[in-house]
Structure formats: C-alpha cells, structure tokens
Structure 1
Amino acid sequence: MKTISLFILAYLLGSIQSGVWIGKFFYHKDIREFGSGNTGTTNTFRVLGKRAGTAVLFMDILKGTVATSLPIWFGLSIDPLWFGVAAILGHTFPIFGHFKGGKAVATSAGMLLAYSPTFFIYSASLFIIFLFLTSTVSLASMISAIIITISTIVLPIYAPFILAEQNWLLTSLAVAITLFIIIRHRDNIKRIKAGTESKVNFGLRKTKNR
C-alpha cells in the first residue's frame, strides 16, 4: 500500500504545471495560449521571461528529483527510477492539466539528479555544450538525449567515476525517453529543417526569437 501511495504521489508531483501556475498567479497569462503553447521551461522563457523561466526550470527538475527520492526516503526496496518515471508521466500527462503537459526534459534531468549526481552533471554539461553550439533548445535536447542514452552503456565501462554501474533499467528508460522527446519535438524538427525554429540569445548561432 505504501508503494502504491508513493507512486501516486510521484505522479501528482510530476503533474504540477509550474509554468501554467506561475504564469496565471504572477503574470496573469496562460502560457498555453502563447508561443508554442507548451507548458514547459522553454515556452515559459519565451512568453514570461528569464525570471519565470528559471523558476520553472528549477521546479520541474525538483519534481523529478523529489519523486525519484521517495523510495529512498521511505526505505522501499525498489529501483527509484520507477518513481522518476511516474513523475515524468505526470509532467507529460498531468491530471491538473487535462493530461496535456510538457516534453519532460527538465523532469527527466531531475530523475537523473536523484539517481546519480555525477551523471546528472555530465548530462547537463552535454546539453549546455550543444545549446551553445546550436542556440536551439529543441535540437540540443534531442542530441543530448541520444548521447546520454549511449552513455548509460559506455560510461560504466570506460568512465565509472561518472556512472558507476550498468543499470539496464536506466538504459531502457533512456531509450524510451529519447524516443518520446524526439516524437514530441516532431513539429520542432520540421521547423529546424525549414530554418524557422526559434533560437535563444546564447551560443554561436544566437539570434532573436522569431
């Protein structure tokens, strides 16, 4: 019963729509009606600005971290990654938002932070590097996700100081999350091919958002 209750709690934590709530309470805007219509960090930055976007980024990461930590805090003998999955599902299909949520990039990062801080730092560094090279959040997210997935297999062999042991559940989840991220970014991929995808004012190719 405790396990089921904590799974539900993890899902509810993921369902907290940080961008929507901050937009409504502090800016009197529903970010779903502006920009890409997405409820996540990138659209929050685009619609509400840096302060709100940064707050949503940290809150979405925190959702994944807290949810993944639940079985550790409550002494359950179950892989904590499953609770991270519950938070990711909550973020993507939130009960508080008619099951229409974000793309789960930040929440997935929060899951990694709870599971392995060193691997989280490695993964975050990859994202920052590719964001600097492309100035495009969507492209950086997809490329990073692919490399992170490969890294779950390679690092335990060649760099165990970053990721100590092989966990096939982590690898399986990384594959699933990567595929999901790519699918959810299909409209972004079309805009990237057409050269119309919005860029951030950061990195080698920075420009004003369209």
Structure 2
Amino acid sequence: MIIFTSILLNLMFLAIGYLIGSANTSIIISKILKNDVRNHHSNNAGATNSVRVLGKKMGAIILFIDILKTIASVSLAFGILSWVNIHNDTSEYLYGVPMFAGIGTVLGHSFPIFFGFKGGKGVACSIGLIISYNIVLLPIAAVFFFGVLFWKKYVSLASMLAAILLTPFLFISWMSESSIAFATNMQNLLPYSPLQGLIYLGALGLILWTHRGNILRLKRHEERKISFSKSK
C-alpha cells in the first residue's frame, strides 16, 4: 500500500509541475503587452524569442520567472511531502521525489495545456531544475553555454550542448550528498540516488526534441546567429 500511495504522490507532483509550467510566461506577458511572441521570428514562446520581440529587459524578466517557476514547483512539492508525512497516521514515510514536479514544469512549459500545447523549448525551466538539484551546477552550465555561444554564436547550439555536457555532473555523488543539494535534502531517499540524474535525462530529451527544427537548420547552415551588437 505504501508503494502505491508513494507512486500516486509522485504522479501528483508531476501534475502540479505540469500545470505550473503550462502558465507560459512569454505568452502571458506578450499578450498583456498585445504583442504575441508567437507571431514573430521563430514563433517560439520562450525567453530567446522574447528578447527579439520584447527587448532584452523584458526577455530577462521572462527568463527569471521561467527559472523561478521550476524552483517554486519543486519547493511546493517538498511542502506537500512534508505535510503528508507529518500527518501520516502510520509509522511509514511516503517516498516522494519533489524533482518530479520540476520535470513536470519543463514539460508544461514546452507543451502548455492552456495554450494549445505549443510553448517554449524548456531551457529556462531546466535551469531551474538544475538549481533545484544543486546550485553548483548553474556556473558549470553557464561555462558550457557561454563558451559555445561566444564560439559559434548559436543560442540553440549552446543550449543543447550545455545540457548534454552537464549530464555527467548530475550523476556525481557529491552533487546529491552535499549540504547544498537542495532537492536531495527534501526527500526520503538515500543521500545518493541516480534518480535525480535520470529525471534530468528526461529534461534533456525534451530540450533536444523541442530543438529538432534548430538541429535541421544547423545542418543546413540556416540557423540564425546571435549578434552581440547593442540593441534595445
């Protein structure tokens, strides 16, 4: 019974994260500003296209909110897990994994139920996912991302390669055993669990899938390069 209940709890975390992620920030803000990002450039409802359409400042705000959405969903899942176990009438703890709410947020951002399942590419929400795992992963990912970005000047390529190169770090035991391993310290699992890395692989798969059009354009040398010149 405890196993079945734990599975239901984790499915609930996934659903909560999905609904939070489905509140696509780019679409909501651009609709408020009456300039839907989906009608311009790549037609993508993400932070990068928001920069092109709404400007750098608004794009940065959208990026921050998207990152925060994942962290908030993981934190909410932890709060629910704590409440359930505190009020549990039995002596057995339910095995909840708040990171399932994180991957749910990435999924919802990419395929939002509120906006016809057409959203962003999940990169910003995945940043929130790795922060929820261990903040140390953020500067590592930043080095990979900006290194590729300044080298090749393709945001899509930098995003994908950074996500791929980061993968081995998710399976390093210290990442989950350290005192700053946020998500691991919020669940009833052993200090080191490969489940965290496996959940991240799900996010990586989503990132690659949503970038499949970019991959084709990169192969045809048709992908748009970023310009570092000053703009609005």
Q: What's the TM-score, normalizing by structure 2?
A: 0.76
3-state SS of paired residue (1:13): helix
For each residue in 1:26-74, what CA deviation from the matched residue of structure 2 results, as whole angstroms up to 9, or x when unmatched?
A: 2x11111111111011111111110111111001101111111123233
- Structure 1 residues 131-140 or 172-181, which shifts more? 172-181
State the shift of 1:88 in Å. Answer: 1.3
For each residue in 1:110-144, what CA deviation from the matched residue of structure 2 results, as whole angstroms up to 9, or x when unmatched?
A: 11112211123322332222222222110001111
Q: Which residue of 1 aligns with 2:218?
A: 192
| Equivalent position amino acid for 1:60 in 2 | D
CA contact (8 A) 2:67 2:125 kept: yes
Residue of structure 2 aligned with 1:12, choices 10, 13, 19? 19
Distance 1:22 1:90 in 2: 17
Q: Name the structure, 1 or 2, with higher relative contact order (CA <8 Å, separation 6+).
A: 2
Percent of matched pairs sharing the same residue: 35
Distance 2:161 2:14 in 1: 30
State the shift of 1:193 in Å. Answer: 2.3
Cα distance 1:79–1:6, how it changes in 2: closer, same or farther (>3 A)?
A: closer
CA contact (8 A) 1:10 1:84 kept: yes
Residue of structure 2 aligned with 1:92, choices 96, 110, 122? 110
Residue of structure 2 aligned with 1:38, choices 44, 51, 69? 44
Cα distance 1:116–1:5, how it changes in 2: closer, same or farther (>3 A)?
A: same
| Paired residue total | 203
Q: Which residue of 2 aligns with 1:29?
A: 35
CA contact (8 A) 2:103 2:200 kept: no
3-state SS of paired residue (1:59): helix
| Equivalent position amino acid for 2:28 in 1 | W
Q: Which residue of 2 aligns with 1:53?
A: 59
| Equivalent position amino acid for 1:189 in 2 | I
Q: Which residue of 2 aligns with 1:201?
A: 227
| Equivalent position amino acid for 1:156 in 2 | S
Unaligned runs of 5+ in 1: none
CA contact (8 A) 1:19 1:39 kept: yes
Q: Which residue of 1 aligns with 2:155?
A: 137
Bigger-Rg structure (1/2):
2
Unaligned runs of 5+ in 2: 85-94, 185-190
1:28-177 correspondence runs (5 A): 28-74=34-80, 75=82, 77-153=95-171, 155-156=172-173, 166-177=192-203
Residue of structure 2 aligned with 1:183, choices 183, 194, 209? 209
Distance 1:90 1:78 in 2: 20
State the shift of 1:157 in Å. Answer: 6.9
| Equivalent position amino acid for 2:59 in 1 | G
CA RMSD of superposed structures (Å): 2.9
